Amino acid sequence: MIINCILIDDEPLARETLEEYISKVPYLNLIKSFDDPLEAMAIINSQAVDLIFSDIQMPEMDGISFLKSLRNPPFIIFITGHPGFAVEGFELDILDYIIKPFSFERFLRSANKAQKAIGSNKKIEDLPIEYIPISDGHKTFLVRHKDIYCIQGQEDYLKIKTIEKEFLIMKTMKSMEESLPSESFVRIQKSYIVNIHYIKFFDAVELTLIVPGYTLPIGLKYREAFLKKLNITKIR
């Protein structure tokens, strides 16, 4: 289960630390970070945000006032250097309260608490799986399935290829193949999975994608399944 979260903190160093911590937790997907809670209003109203990590004392609006202003607030974890707000925060039924400075281990305990709480409210089969969250430095990219034209296996790593960018992740071809929507992706050889919507033409031994100059061999072992996926009985 992927938990979509946002981060609100007016201190740049604190945001950078939290972004790094979030990137280390596989089930956390950081949608965006903000230095002003007012800027976060729109994204909470327009997207499915499961969890908010928020400072309390901020110039424009404090975290508690921000929480009170939300009509249907998601789960929230306060992260602050001011322990005096703890009682009021817990009265608002927040999930956790972390005092700065804190270690990654303390953050992870809080994240695990959120995973348990949010997981009890969601059924995994009800969650839409439309993208792969990939950490790249301090950023997490939501790589949509429809934007991937092929996946290349490279020993213990996979190269996820989109028109705009390539990503390198540690995952096996088998587990990736099982996680992708079968109606769109097919394995054509040991080291390649392709998105059938990007196929331009093919013959008995290779296919060419609409990406300029991208031609891949079709392995004999995978040819029958490839043709079946395209509802083709034979190649002329």
pLDDT tens-digit series, residues 168-202? 888 888 888 888 888 889 999 999 999 998 998 99
Helix (H) / strand (E) element for 206: namely strand 206-209
Is 59 a residue whose pLDDT tops 70?
no
Give residue-wise pLDDT tens across range 120-158. 665 444 445 578 888 777 778 888 888 899 999 987 789
Dihedral (Cα; 221, 224, 226, 227), 10-degree rounding: 150
3-126 topology per CATH = Rossmann fold (3.40.50)
Of 180, 181, 186, 182, the closest CA to residue 199 belongs to: 186
Dihedral (Cα; 41, 138, 164, 34), 10-degree rounding: 10
Count Cβ atoms below 10 Å from residue 69 Cβ, excluding itself: 12
Of 199, 193, 188, the closest CA to residue 172 belongs to: 193
Dihedral (Cα; 67, 104, 134, 63), 10-degree rounding: 10
- Res. 160 pLDDT band, cuts 50 70 90: very high
Find out whether 184 and 170 touch, Cβ atoms under 8 Å: no
**Four-way CATH pick for 146-229: 3.40.50.20, 3.30.70.3400, 2.40.50.1020, 1.10.10.60:** 2.40.50.1020
Query: Measured between alpha carbons, how far is 145 from 87 in angstroms, rounded to an integer?
Result: 44
Query: Measured between alpha carbons, how far is 12 from 83 in angstroms, rounded to an integer?
Result: 21
Hey, where are the domains in the chain? 3-126, 146-229
Q: In the prediction, which pLDDT does 38 show?
A: 82
